[in-house]
Structure 1
Amino acid sequence: MLVRSWLAVFCGLLLMGLIHGCENTDTPKKTVPALAKELVLYDWVDDMPRSVLDDFTREYGVKVTYLTFESQEEAVENILQGKVYDVAVLENPFVPSLIGAKRLAEIDFRNVPNFKNISANFRDLAIDPGNRYTVPYHYGTTGLLVRTDLIGNAVNSWTDLWDPRFAGQVALRLQPRELISITLLSLGYGLNSEIPDEVNTAVDRLIALKQSILWVEVDTPKAAAKLLSGEAALLLGWPLDYQEAHGANPAISYILPKEGAPLWSDNYVIPTSSPNSYTAELFINFLLRPEISARIVNEKNYPTANDAALPLVNPEIRNDPVIFPSPEQLRRAHFYLPLSPAGESLYKQAWDRFLAAPPVLPNGQ
Structure 2
Amino acid sequence: MTNRRKFLQGIAALSSFSLASCSWQLGNVRSATNSGSSDQLHLYTWTQYVDQELLQTFTTQTGIKTLADVYDSNEVMLAKLLAGGGGVYSLIYPSDYMVQKMEEQGLLIELNHERLQGIEQLFSQFQNPSYDPKNRHSIPFSWGTTGLIYNSAILKDAPEDWDYLWQNQGILNKRMTLLNDVREVMGAVLRMLGYSYNSKDESQIKQAYEKLLELKPAIASFDTDAWQNQMLAGDLILAMCYSVDAIKVNRENPQLKYIIPRSGSSLWTDTIVIPKTAPNIDGAYDWLNFMLKPEVAAMISQRMNLATPNRIGFEKLPNQIKNNQNLFPPNSLLERCERITPLGDLEDVYERYWTQLTSN
Do they superpose with TM above 0.5? yes
Q: Conserved in 1, the CA contact under 8 Å of 2:147 and 2:260?
A: yes
Count of aligned pairs = 331
Task: Give 2:208's match in structure 1, choosing from 181, 202, 215.
Answer: 202
Deviates more, 1:34-43 or 1:322-331: 34-43
| 1:35 Cα offset (Å) | 2.7
Alpha-carbon distance in structure 1 between the residues aligned to 2:285 and 2:130? 22
Q: Which residue does the alignment assign to 1:173?
A: 179
Deviates more, 1:280-289 or 1:32-41: 32-41
What percent of counterpart residues are identical?
24
Alpha-carbon distance in structure 1 between the residues aligned to 2:158 and 2:34? 62
Alpha-carbon distance in structure 1 between the residues aligned to 2:351 and 2:288? 32
CA, structure 1 residues 241+285, in 2 after alignment: closer, same or farther (shift >3 Å)? same
Please give the residue correspondences for 1:232-243 in structure 2 after superposition, counting only pairs within 5 Å.
232-243=236-247
Q: Conserved in 1, the CA contact under 8 Å of 2:144 and 2:244?
A: no
Q: Conserved in 1, the CA contact under 8 Å of 2:197 and 2:266?
A: yes
Task: Give 2:354's match in structure 1, choosing from 338, 344, 351.
Answer: 351
Alpha-carbon distance in structure 2 between the residues aligned to 1:203 and 1:273? 40
Alpha-carbon distance in structure 2 between the residues aligned to 1:272 and 1:210? 43
Q: Which residue does the alignment assign to 2:219?
A: 213
Q: Which residue does the alignment assign to 1:124?
A: 128
Q: Deviations over 1:260-310 (max 9, x none)?
A: 232212211122333222212211211111111111111222221111212
CA, structure 1 residues 228+126, in 2 after alignment: closer, same or farther (shift >3 Å)? closer
Q: Which residue does the alignment assign to 1:249?
A: 253
Please give the residue correspondences for 1:110-189 in structure 2 after superposition, counting only pairs within 5 Å.
110-162=114-166, 163-189=169-195
Q: Secondary structure at the match of 1:192?
A: coil
CA, structure 1 residues 61+215, in 2 after alignment: closer, same or farther (shift >3 Å)? farther
Q: Conserved in 1, the CA contact under 8 Å of 2:92 and 2:274?
A: yes
Consecutive unaligned residues of structure 1, counting only runs of 5 or more, are 1-22, 359-365
CA, structure 1 residues 179+71, in 2 after alignment: closer, same or farther (shift >3 Å)? farther
| 1:115 Cα offset (Å) | 2.1
Task: Give 1:289's match in structure 2, choosing from 276, 290, 293.
Answer: 293
Pairwise CA RMSD: 2.4
Does residue 334 of structure 1 match 2:337?
Answer: yes
Q: Deviations over 1:30-62 (max 9, x none)?
A: 35242342412322x323433222211222333
Alpha-carbon distance in structure 2 between the residues aligned to 1:149 and 1:101? 49
Q: Which residue does the alignment assign to 1:9?
A: none
Q: Which residue does the alignment assign to 1:80?
A: 82
Does residue 49 of structure 1 match 2:45?
Answer: no
Q: Which residue does the alignment assign to 1:311?
A: 315
Q: Which residue does the alignment assign to 2:37?
A: 34
CA, structure 1 residues 124+256, in 2 after alignment: closer, same or farther (shift >3 Å)? closer
Q: Which residue does the alignment assign to 2:73?
A: 71
CA, structure 1 residues 86+351, in 2 after alignment: closer, same or farther (shift >3 Å)? farther
TM-score (norm 2): 0.83
Q: Conserved in 2, the CA contact under 8 Å of 1:82 and 1:273?
A: no
CA, structure 1 residues 252+184, in 2 after alignment: closer, same or farther (shift >3 Å)? same
| 1:237 Cα offset (Å) | 1.6
| 1:218 Cα offset (Å) | 4.5
Q: Conserved in 2, the CA contact under 8 Å of 1:24 and 1:290?
A: no
Q: Secondary structure at the match of 1:141?
A: strand
